[in-house]
Amino acid sequence: MPSATSGFTLYGDVPAADAPSGLLGIGHTAVDLPTGRIELLHPRDALDQIYQQNLGKGGDEPPYWAQPWPSGIELARAVSRADVTGARVLELGCGLALPSLAAAQGGARVLATDRAPGALAFAAHNARRNGIRLEVAQCDWSDPWSAIAGAPWDLVLAADVLYLHDGLDALGALLPRLVCGAGEIWLADQGRAPARDFLAACERWATVGTTGTADPEVSVHRLRRGGPLPR
Ligand SMILES: C[S@@+](CC[C@H](N)C(=O)[O-])C[C@H]1O[C@@H](n2cnc3c(N)ncnc32)[C@H](O)[C@@H]1O
């Protein structure tokens, strides 16, 4: 018997998008990481839907959360190579939450957040499906109480969030409130246009270090308040 939750319908514990969102059908992506394989279920034709809605250029944000983006995959790889055992980790704009799943698989205690209910439904489902313990919470950067309530975090993750949208100022104001001391923020980005100015503004309060990834288009930017970044 299906049950409705946050605009989605759960069939058993498998989320399926309600018809009005236009996302129909479930796809599957497997990602092999040093910490193990993660099997992701996700809406199948998200890119088509994103493309159609961008052409329409009106109304709600397209379902960007529903696609496993290259930045999310590379950030998950970076996290899975780090020692995060016992760390308290927050992910912002998690979408399908692959970096969160990688951190939790590596022994961290992780809260994955997004403003899109569909993202949280799939993140929670994929965690259960992979036998990974993960907490999820709704968090819009303009009203980020769930992120701030848990601060300071040891590690804050965000992949592909520096594209052109109306929440960038709120995100820029939020980040310095989330870490202190040795806490770090890792932002993965595939050279989106707003990233350069966003990171330049972050240099007012953080040391910023950038490393490339296996994907030549994706970089991981590490931010730490005051003080150098350890290698
Ligand atoms: C391009 S997607 C990236 C998803 C995922 N991090 C990945 O790399 O696959 C951007 C994500 O940011 C989320 N997002 C956009 N604006 C937001 C806001 N103001 N507050 C919270 N999340 C937001 C979207 O819902 C979406 O999941």
The yes-or-no verdict on residue 223 having pLDDT over 80 is: yes
Q: Stretch 18-45: mean pLDDT, rounded?
A: 79
In a domain, 103, yes or no: yes
Q: How many helices (H) and strands (E) does the chain have?
A: 7, 12
- Pick the more confident residue, 22 or 124: 124
Residue 31 has pLDDT above 70, yes or no: yes
Do strands 109-114 and 135-138 pair parallel, antiparallel, or not at all (unpaired)? parallel
Residue 46 lies in a domain: no
Determine the average pLDDT of the residues in 31-43: 92
What confidence tens digit (pLDDT) does each residue in 57-68 have? 666 778 899 999
* 129 CA to centre of ligand 1 in angstroms: 22
Distance 102 CA to ligand 1 centre (A): 18
Greatest CA separation for the chain? 55
Give yes or no for a contact between 20 and 65, defined as CB atoms under 8 angstroms apart.
no
User: Mean pLDDT, to the nearest integer, of 107-135?
Assistant: 95
Report CA(161)–ligand 1 centroid distance (Å): 6
* Domain assignment of residue 40, yes or no: no
| Residue 129, domain member (yes or no) | yes
Number of domains in the chain: 1
| 175 part of a folded domain | yes
CA of residue 95 to ligand 1 center, whole Å: 6
Which of the listed residues 21, 100, 114, 139 should we mutate to test ligand 1's pocket, taking the one with most ligand atoms within 8 A of CB?
114
Q: Which atom of ligand 1 lies closest to the CA of 171?
A: 19
As for ligand 1, residues whose beta carbon falls within 6 Å of it are 64-65, 68-69, 71-72, 93-96, 114-116, 119, 139-142, 159-161, 165, 167
pLDDT at position 226 is 74
17 band by pLDDT with thresholds 50, 70 and 90:
low
Residue 167, domain member (yes or no):
yes
Residue 6 has pLDDT above 90, yes or no: no
Per-residue pLDDT, averaged over 146-173, amounts to: 95
CA–CA gap between residue 10 and residue 65 (Å, rounded): 18
Q: 186 in a domain, yes or no?
A: yes
Instruction: Specify the CATH number for the domain of residue 158.
Output: 3.40.50.150
- Average pLDDT of the chain to the nearest whole number: 88
Residue 215 structural domain: 67-225
Nearest by Cα to 94 from 37, 160, 26, 149: 160
Residue 24: inside a domain: no
| Nearest CA-CA partner of 187 in 207, 162, 204, 206 | 162
Report CA torsion sign: 220, 225, 226, 231.
negative
CA 116 – ligand 1 centroid, Å = 8
Does pLDDT of 3 surpass 60?
Answer: no
